[in-house]
Amino acid sequence: MKKELWWKTSVIYQIYPRSFQDSNGDGVGDLKGIIERLDYLQWLGIEAVWLSPIYPSPMADFGYDISDYQDIHPLFGSLADFDELLEAVHSRGMKLILDFVPNHTSDKHPWFLESRSSRDNPKRDWYIWQDAAEDGGLPNNWLGVFGGSAWEWDEVTGQYYYHGFLKEQPDLNWRNPEVREAMLNTLRFWLDRGVDGFRVDVIWHMIKDAQLRDNPVNPDYTEYMPTYDRLLPVYSTDQPEVHEVIREMRELMDSYEERMMVGEVYLPVHRLMTYYGVDNKGAHLPFNFQLISLPWDAAVIAAAIDEYEGALPTDGWPNWVLGNHDRPRIVSRIGTEQARVAAMLLLTLRGTPTMYYGDEIGMRDIPIPFDEVQDPQGLNMPEKNLSRDPCRTPMQWDDSNNAGFSSGKPWLRIDQRYVRNNVELQRNDPDSILSLYRKLIALRQREPSLVLGVYTPVFADQQMIVYLRTYDGSASFLVALNLSHRPAYFRPVEGQYLGVVVVSTNTELEGTRVSGSLSLAGDEAVVVRLDRED
């Protein structure tokens, strides 16, 4: 395989640091705990690790409200611990990606404390301040993602400030060049330290309409949706000028060797593609969340894959995600057996796959009693059942106390079934989902067709998706996935697909010959190495 950029060939693994491994018994995961588990990630085949925020923060939104962009929260350790982690990651031939949260700071950040101190403070324009409307009401109708108005009244200075999320998370004014330079300097701080890339939080929120026009009402809103969805955020997000900001970030990345930027973007495919930027000078990987958001239906997903592949700009590199810290886990969405099929899909599609910690052992969402809910989204809208706590519970390492995560009381409940579902148990079981993930990752690493090869759709119906992965001079692979619980059949109309099953959700199929048609049981999937044509 020719030498390619690491972010094109790696499997990225997201760690939610609070929940991965606690090294000091305080019930919260930390950097030293991550260091302890790096050998596991290397064994699994992970080549890039992404950490959710670890910066100093009042933790109103668990680290996404940052009070200092150039340090480490004591809960997680110190800068010295971070440097040790970075060295340990690099010594294993792996890369480290940090979360970067540029849209908003904490209201305890020194910049905001200055900004709200007086109307004539030099940093006043670093945030978005606005007078009340003529009738004394809110400046406009914009809503906060976590509920209620996005405007907060400040008694001291007699103006409102804008916060797209919590009131403790005031939005920065990215139209101010001083803000841009200050934030680019925070990126330089970590790049100079040796960080390999950044996942940029809510990148499409960063610029707002200059006129602060009202958002239109969402005609499709129902009472079961989050209150934020009552309006279409056409003026508060995804403004054309955001691409100038992203281009500046990209120019900074490109001034270092092989650094990369992932952009968090929840937008339709045609809008998502604009975040690659003109001449591919935007985000290297605008996150593609279709496998998280779409119904688990073979025909729908097959069509979405084709639409995405067809929409990619020239030289734009695809990526796929099954889960993250904001959405229900894949097992809780589609069930344990289909989660294995989903793993096959994630790791055989063209592009960079991103995994969420614990999905490789089939962790599920855990019910958190109302009096234990910690997520602000859940606390602010309890009637909507929107807490993200259930998908953030501690990693299940073994059958010892607290699943090997901590010697103290964990910050969130652990799945009661951890004794029967943990890394140690699955590691030695060839039929486990962990073994399936490891086999698939190893196959990707060996086979150019699965990393760099062309994706060619072959067949799809209401149950099944079949596609080819091919690369000049290398073995070709046929991937067949049954996304239903009933038997499914593939009978080629043209040509023959002859080969050997190399990975399957059913290990008993591995090593068997395929000649012509395929018959798959419910919840079954296969990767077939095709015979070479001489």
- Tens digits of residue pLDDT in 299-329: 999 999 999 999 999 999 999 999 999 999 9
pLDDT beyond 80 at 352: yes
Distances (CA, A) of 458 to 447, 466, 479: 20, 5, 9
The domain boundary, picked from 147, 162, 177, lies at: 162
Average pLDDT value over all residues in the chain: 97
Distances (CA, A) of 187 to 15, 182, 214, 275: 20, 9, 33, 19
CATH number of domain containing 142: 3.90.400.10
Which residues touch 185 (CB under 8 Å, ≥6 apart)? none
Catalytic one among 201, 238, 375, 389? 201
At 3, the pLDDT band (50, 70, 90 cuts) reads confident
Q: Backbone phi, then psi, for 159, in 5-degree steps?
A: -140, 165
Instruction: Supply the pLDDT for residue 495.
Output: 75
- Dist CA 200 CA 186 (whole Å): 13
pLDDT beyond 80 at 474: yes
Instruction: Supply the pLDDT for residue 384.
Output: 87
CATH number of domain containing 467: 2.60.40.1180
Known catalytic residue at 201: yes
Q: Backbone phi, then psi, for 443, in 5-degree steps?
A: -65, -45
Does residue 136 sit within a domain?
Answer: yes
At 2, the pLDDT band (50, 70, 90 cuts) reads low
pLDDT beyond 60 at 494: yes
Per the structure, how many domains does the chain have? 2
Residue of 422, 420, 373, 377 lying closest to 395 (CA atoms): 422
DSSP code string of 130-190: EPPPTTSS-SS--B-TTSSBSEEEETTTTEEEE-SS-TTSPBB-TTSHHHHHHHHHHHHHH
The domain boundary, picked from 162, 180, 196, lies at: 162
- The residue type of 39 is D
pLDDT beyond 80 at 42: yes
pLDDT beyond 70 at 534: no
Does residue 290 sit within a domain?
Answer: no
Distances (CA, A) of 350 to 94, 236, 237, 291: 21, 33, 29, 14
Q: Which domain holds residue 142?
A: 110-162
The structure tokens listed for 334 are 């589609």
pLDDT beyond 60 at 443: yes
pTM above 0.95, yes or no: yes
The domain boundary, picked from 141, 162, 183, lies at: 162
* Tally of CB atoms within 10 A around 120: 7
Known catalytic residue at 229: no
- Dist CA 33 CA 52 (whole Å): 14
- For residue range 106-151, list pLDDT tens digits in order: 999 999 999 999 999 999 999 999 999 999 999 999 999 999 999 9
- The residue type of 444 is R
The structure tokens listed for 313 are 């700009």
- For residue range 374-423, list pLDDT tens digits in order: 999 999 988 889 999 999 999 999 999 999 999 999 999 999 999 999 99
Catalytic one among 264, 359, 389, 523? 264
DSSP code string of 411-465: SS---GGGGTS-HHHHHT-TTSHHHHHHHHHHHHHH-HHHHTPEEEEEEE-SSEE
Does residue 446 sit within a domain?
Answer: no
In this prediction, what percent of the chain has a pLDDT beyond 70?
A: 99
The structure tokens listed for 337 are 């057996």
Does residue 38 sit within a domain?
Answer: no
Instruction: Supply the pLDDT for residue 459.
Output: 96
- For residue range 67-104, list pLDDT tens digits in order: 999 999 999 999 999 999 999 999 999 999 999 999 99
Helix (H, G, I), strand (E, B), or coil: what is residue 204? helix
In this prediction, what percent of the chain has a pLDDT beyond 90?
A: 96
Does residue 134 sit within a domain?
Answer: yes
- For residue range 179-202, list pLDDT tens digits in order: 999 999 999 999 999 999 999 999
- For residue range 222-243, list pLDDT tens digits in order: 999 999 999 999 999 999 999 9
Instruction: Supply the pLDDT for residue 383.
Output: 83
At 281, the pLDDT band (50, 70, 90 cuts) reads very high
DSSP code string of 251-293: HHHHTSSS-EEEE---S-HHHHGGGG-GGG-S-SEE---HHHH
Does residue 509 sit within a domain?
Answer: yes
- Dist CA 62 CA 96 (whole Å): 20
Does residue 492 sit within a domain?
Answer: yes
Does residue 461 sit within a domain?
Answer: yes
At 1, the pLDDT band (50, 70, 90 cuts) reads low
Instruction: Supply the pLDDT for residue 400.
Output: 97
- Dist CA 220 CA 233 (whole Å): 13
